[in-house]
A and B are shown apart, each in its own frame.
Chain A
Amino acid sequence: DTGVSQDPRHKITKRGQNVTFRCDPISEHNRLYWYRQTLGQGPEFLTYFQNEAQLEKSRLLSDRFSAERPKGSFSTLEIQRTEQGDSAMYLCASSLTGTSDEQYFGPGTRLTVT
């Protein structure tokens, strides 16, 4: 399977703990995006990378959130000191510039903070 993959698929954590999610994009895609989706809503943009550079961050991304894409391949999203409001589906997508800008989504990581 050459699609976008995410790990883990589900994460349950206690409030105050740190969590880290991983995303592996489609191999030739240079852009990688993180979105967050809560129940009954559309996905909301968090941040995106072009190669290893983080080019944009949403104001939704508080100081507790950090994302990296160290070698321009996979990316990690870390949430420190989790809060119950962080419970959501975290979606990763990738795309290739110079085409239709179509973004391909991974299966998501569902985070539950208890």
Chain B
Amino acid sequence: ELKVEQNPLFLSMQEGKNYTIYCNYSTTSDRLYWYRQDPGKSLESLFVLLSNGAVKQEGRLMASLDTKARLSTLHITAAVHDLSATYFCAFLPGTASKLTFGTGTRLQVTL
């Protein structure tokens, strides 16, 4: 069964703090995606990770992929309130075309 586990499911953090969201997936894949979703809105693509050891950074967010451990991380540096949203990771196993999503991590950044 294709599964993605994210943790934590909910994260409340103060502005200025750092934290990491973890995404474990169930089968071999070298295609991993991170999306952001604001309440009531659709998904916005954040990062596309396509190889073992891939690391991408945009602003205060950095994503990495370890295909051997089947693990991706999303690191938040010096969080700001605007980062409050739900973050999903999703992967494409093998030659599949359908994304399998995690349950999401709801991030709340407090002042």
Residues of A whose CB lies within 8 Å of any CB of B are 31, 33, 35, 40-45, 48, 50, 55-56, 58, 91, 93, 100-108, 110
Provide the bound-state CA to CA distance between A41 and B43, in Å: 13
B43 touches A43 (CB 8 A): yes
Residues of B whose CB lies within 8 Å of any CB of A are 4, 31, 33, 35, 40-45, 48, 50, 88, 90, 92, 97-104
A41 touches B103 (CB 8 A): yes
User: Chain A: which residue is nearest B31 at the CB level?
Assistant: A101
Provide the bound-state CA to CA distance between A106 and B88, in Å: 16
Residues on A with C-beta less than 8 A from B42 are: 91, 105-108
Q: Number of A-B pairs whose CB atoms are under 8 Å?
A: 58
Provide the bound-state CA to CA distance between A44 and B42, in Å: 14
B39 CB to closest chain A CB (Å) equals 10
Provide the bound-state CA to CA distance between A5 and B36, in Å: 18
A103 touches B50 (CB 8 A): no
Residues on B with C-beta less than 8 A from A102 are: 33, 45, 48
Which one of B41, B98, B103 lies within 8 Å of A45 (CB-CB)? B98
Provide the bound-state CA to CA distance between A101 and B97, in Å: 8
Residues on A with C-beta less than 8 A from B48 are: 100, 102
